[in-house]
């Protein structure tokens, strides 16, 4: 999938690689383009003006063929045809699993760069696109707060995050949510309802509950049904959806993407392979590709406590 800031990363890879005397090729539609030999040499001006663009100029695709050895063989042939000996793959765990298999089977060097709005990859504090997604969702939440406040309503707002509550926690704290439901913690519907009633009694003019789409108690519509069994309030649901994946990247995402692109080229030039280039505590952190999906990046418990205290 795409995430805002990927273009800034592509630009950085291209310009850093050329600066150091390398040739760079852009592979369209991810692994599918590699199989189809949809590959073009990139030059300094191929990436002009793209730092501020969302999406990805290289496009992206799901590629079932690459899951099979025959598909990966075809992809390797395309790389050889273009005299490509190393790969920089920007993406999430699916992209990294593919890269892991590929470089274990063929003599090719490969580095992964974390690009996903979910921020769920182990080995990096932040992934490219997360900050933009949080800011986009937060703007929507602020707008919903205005209407919720006018009607004294309860809103359940669903944000993205298939297996991760990062977007939910960041937007929940930033948007002053009354509660945040995430897959990393057990959702207690009765407890939630009691808490909302208490707030209402205290004179709160509106309530917003952020629901991560992957919450184990269900999506926002399913949670609405469960709450409705316990109270007779008017509840509205708002699913922010793919709007979180698009748009111009924030300053932080442009910077992160530029830095990661630059460092990934240096890592390749130093002979590194089979790793993801993360940034932890502002330092480059090369972590084994496999660790990025087998180890779980935990949301620091202090965020959960903070959200709880501020929501009272
Ligand atoms: O992994 C990124 C992500 O945006 C998730 O947050 C979301 O669940 C998923 O992709 C949506 O995928 P698709 O665009 O295929 O519907």
* Ligand 1 binding site (Cβ under 6 Å of any ligand atom): 1, 92, 116-118, 160-162, 213, 245
What is the whole-number distance in angstroms between the Cα of residue 162 and the centre of ligand 1? 7
| Residue whose CA lies nearest to ligand 1 atom number 14 | 1
- Enclosing H/E stretch for 171: helix 166-174
Instruction: Express each pLDDT in 184-211 by its tens digit.
Output: 999 999 999 999 999 999 999 999 999 9
Region 31-59: mean pLDDT is 98
What is the whole-number distance in angstroms between the Cα of residue 295 and the centre of ligand 1? 20
Residue for token pair 């030039």: 269
| Residue whose CA lies nearest to ligand 1 atom number 12 | 1
Q: Which two tokens stand for residue 16?
A: 């850093």
Q: How far apart (Å, rounded) are the C-alpha atoms in residues 89 and 87? A: 6
Pairing between β-strand 275-280 and β-strand 109-114 as defined by DSSP bridges? parallel
Region 285-309: mean pLDDT is 96
In degrees rounded to 5, what are phi and psi of residue 235? -120, 135
Instruction: Express each pLDDT in 227-278 by its tens digit.
Output: 999 998 889 999 999 999 999 999 999 999 999 999 999 999 999 999 999 9
| Residue whose CA lies nearest to ligand 1 atom number 13 | 1
């Amino acid at each position: 999938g795409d995430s805002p800031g990927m273009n800034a990363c592509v630009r950085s890879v291209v310009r850093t690689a050329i600066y150091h005397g390398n040739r760079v090729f852009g592979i369209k539609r991810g692994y599918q383009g590699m199989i189809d030999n949809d590959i073009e040499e990139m030059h300094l001006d191929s990436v002009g003006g793209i730092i501020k663009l969302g999406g990805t100029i290289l496009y992206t695709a799901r590629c079932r063929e690459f899951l099979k050895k025959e598909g990966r063989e075809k992809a390797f042939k395309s790389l050889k045809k273009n005299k490509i000996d190393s790969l920089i793959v920007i993406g999430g765990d699916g992209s990294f699993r593919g890269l892991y298999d590929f470089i274990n089977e063929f003599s090719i060097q490969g580095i992964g760069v974390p690009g996903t709005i979910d921020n769920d990859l182990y080995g990096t504090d932040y992934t490219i696109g997360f900050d933009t997604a949080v800011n986009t969702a937060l703007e929507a939440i602020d707008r919903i707060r205005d209407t919720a406040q006018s009607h004294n309503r309860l809103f359940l707002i669903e944000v993205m995050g298939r297996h991760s509550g990062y977007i939910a926690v960041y937007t929940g704290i930033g948007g002053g949510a009354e509660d945040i439901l995430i897959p990393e913690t057990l959702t207690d519907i009765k407890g939630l309802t009691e808490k909302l009633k208490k707030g209402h009694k205290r004179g709160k003019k509106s309530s917003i509950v952020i629901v991560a789409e992957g919450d184990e108690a269900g999506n926002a519509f399913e949670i609405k049904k469960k709450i409705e069994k316990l109270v007779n309030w008017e509840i509205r649901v708002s699913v922010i959806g793919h709007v979180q994946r698009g748009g111009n990247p924030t300053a932080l995402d442009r910077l992160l993407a530029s830095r990661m692109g630059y460092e990934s080229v240096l890592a390749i030039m130093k002979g590194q392979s089979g790793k993801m280039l993360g940034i932890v505590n502002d330092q480059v952190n090369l972590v084994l590709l496999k660790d990025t999906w087998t180890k779980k990046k935990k949301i620091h418990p202090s965020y959960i406590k903070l959200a709880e205290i501020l929501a009272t």
